[in-house]
Structure formats: C-alpha cells, structure tokens
Amino acid sequence: MRIALFTGNYNYVRDGANQALNRLVDYLLRQGVKVRVYAPTVKNPAFPATGDLVHVPALPIPGRWEYRYPMGLPPRVRRDLEAFAPNIVHIGSPDIAAHRAVTWAKKRGIGRVGSVHTRFETYFQYYRLKFLEPLICKGLKRLYNRCDALVVPAQSSLDVLREQGMNDDISIWSRGIDRDQFNPERRDMEWRRAQGIGDDEMVVSFLGRVVMEKGLDVFAETIAALKAKGVSHRVLVIGDGPHRDWFAGALPDDAVFVGHQEGADLARALASSDVFFNPSITETFGNVTLEAMACALPVVAVAATGTTSLVEDGVSGSLAPAYDIEGLADALAAYAADPGLRAAHGAAGLESARGRDWDSINAAVLDVYRRVAERYAA
C-alpha cells in the first residue's frame, strides 16, 4: 500500500482533524504502509509532522490569516507524486489541491478516498455569507462523488452526507481518546483556586479554537440567559484564536481565559471544570466533547452532527436544538441545582469514552484503502 495524503492543514495549526490524520499516518507506518503527505508547511508549525511531508503552495485565508488554502499542484509536486506512485490518493480537505489530486488519480486509474472532518458548508453563516452555502454544497458534492469512498467520524455525519448525495460508499472512521491524558484524576482544585475560582462555583467550560464557527455567539447568549435566571456559575475558556477579544467582551467580566493549553495542562484545565458546553454545529465528530466525557464531565450541547453520536440526552448530558438558548440555559441550570445529576451524567460519559482504542479505529481506514485498491487491481 502506498498512500498519498492531501490536506490543507497537517500540522501548522493544531486542531482535532489534523491530530487524527497524524495518528492515522503513525498507525499506517507501523503497519508497513508507505505514506507521503502533501500539505502547506510553515517555518514554526504547531507540532512536528508524522511521516514525510511535501510542501504544497497555499495562500493565507482572508480574515483567518493563520490558515492556508492550497491553490493547486505545481510541477514540482506532480513530479514528486509521480515518483512516489501511490495506489490510493486520500484527500482530507475540500480545497483546490484536493480537486487536482482527485483528477490526477482518476486519469491514472488510482483509487480515491476522502475523509470529511468538518461541515465546511456551515461556516459561511458565521461570516454573513450564508447565501454561498448552496454553491459550496454543490462543489463539495462534485468533489466527493469523484472519490471511490468516503470516511466520516460518526453515524450522524454519515446520514447527513448521504442525504446531501455526497457519495454512496461512506464508512465510519471514528475517533479515539488518550485516557492517560484525559481522565478525572487530572482535576486540580489548587489550580482552580489559582484562577480565582471558588470550590463551590460551578464551572462551565469552553474548549477549542476561539473562532465564530465554534458557536461563540450561542455560547455567550446562553451564558447571558443563565445569568438572567440568577444561576451562580463561572465560565472557563480553554483555547485561543482571532475572536478572543469579541468573546471576552460578550461574556461576564469574571470569565476566566487560560489561553491555549496542551498535554497535561490541557487535561488539567478541562477536568477542573464541572460542565462542558459545546455550542458548535460545524463538527462532524467533536473531539473536545469526547475529551470532556473522558474527564467525567456532563456535556451540554446543541443536537448537531457528531455530538448526537457521542452524547446520550438525559444520560451523559443534555442536548437542545441549535439556537435554543433557553433550552441550553435550562440544561446548565439543572446541573447547577443538582450536583448529583452532574456526577451521574459525568460517570455515564466516562463509561462511554472507555474502549475507544486508536489502533482499532484507524484499522477501519486501512480496510477502506485495501477495498478500494483491490477494486482497481481487479
């Protein structure tokens, strides 16, 4: 097996999607699979790349300058691709380079696999460009139907993609959890006190890139509704991003911002909160939700793709429709009023998070590669 992996962000900005791709490459290399990654590179990436990485030219995205958009496959990249001679081309982001890579593979009778990590078509509503959503969906449909198979992180995402007509051959590539890193033992009351948080205060946490498409507006409006109900609580924001100032202005003055955290520090901050609140509708899985569950936190979230495959409403958390501010605030208020409910739902989430082994999860992708490659070999 020789896999050429194309993605718009492999390691220059850390996120759940590229961490999953790096784990996949590590697994493939350990199985004796040859892998070559084609993605934009920067001088100081967020973390070291796993495997061989070939630079693909890209332009910064206006308004989101930390991200790059691959513009195609120049002759240098095509020569490298020809020399590598893959029998599977895997695209991990729907950009111009991915379109070119799929075309290149199709002309040569090489299998094409796509992985869908986020619902890109939903992003535009956060930047007053919702009118572009039908056009984006059309472009995604064209790209993904030129693939032989797709892999997605959750059944809810699979159902949406099938309904949209993106492809008929779609499999589940779930996500695992590092339970040595994320677990209830990481909770640290001294750390909480150092942030000015009282032992009896219920801490509602946000974890992720501080960008509008993560549902910052819904988070802030829900917290305002919770405050209007007279419910005592504190907000803990774990992460950083270009909309941090907007978020800080929209939240109560006593909200605690601890910035970007990694490793044990990240797990400590998350486990030291009491309820995890995920307002995003753009996720296909929601790695942060699984991390919170592994820390025995109940989850309040909008009923969106990804989250509905992780959180069982009324068992490990509470789900509400998107933009149901009162419903989300009521769910948080219920946890504030009943610490026993928090503990019970947190324990159920912890039990659900157990048994998610990365190697067995990544083996599902290798099975798809083999199935597609064998079809072309036959």
Fold classification of 2-176+357-377 (topology level): Rossmann fold (3.40.50)
Q: 245-265: per-residue pLDDT in tens?
A: 999 999 999 999 999 998 999
pLDDT of residue 127: 55
**C-alpha torsion angle, residues 317, 322, 327, 330 (rounded to 10):** 50
pLDDT of residue 141: 93
- SS3 state of residue 265: helix
Residue 195 DSSP symbol: T
Q: 285-302: per-residue pLDDT in tens?
A: 778 999 999 999 999 999
How would you classify the pairing of strands 299-302 and 52-55?
A: unpaired
Identical fold at 2-176+357-377 and 184-353? Answer: yes
Domain ranges in the chain?
Answer: 2-176+357-377, 184-353
Residue 246 DSSP symbol: H
DSSP labels for 130-158? GGGHHHHHHHHHHHHHTSSEEEESSHHHH
DSSP labels for 212-234? GGGTHHHHHHHHHHHHHTT---E
CATH classification code of 184-353: 3.40.50.2000
pTM of the model: 0.75
Determine the straight-line distance between the first and last CA of the chain, rounded to whole angstroms: 15
pLDDT of residue 286: 77
Q: In Å, how far from its chain's centre is CA 362?
A: 16
pLDDT at residue 235 is higher than 70: yes
pLDDT band of residue 129 (cuts 50, 70, 90) is low
pLDDT of residue 130: 65
Cα distance between residue 369 and residue 360, in whole Å: 15
pLDDT of residue 122: 57
Phi, psi dihedrals of residue 171, rounded to the nearest 5°: -120, 165
Residue 295 DSSP symbol: T
Can you tell me the mean pLDDT for 92-103? Answer: 95
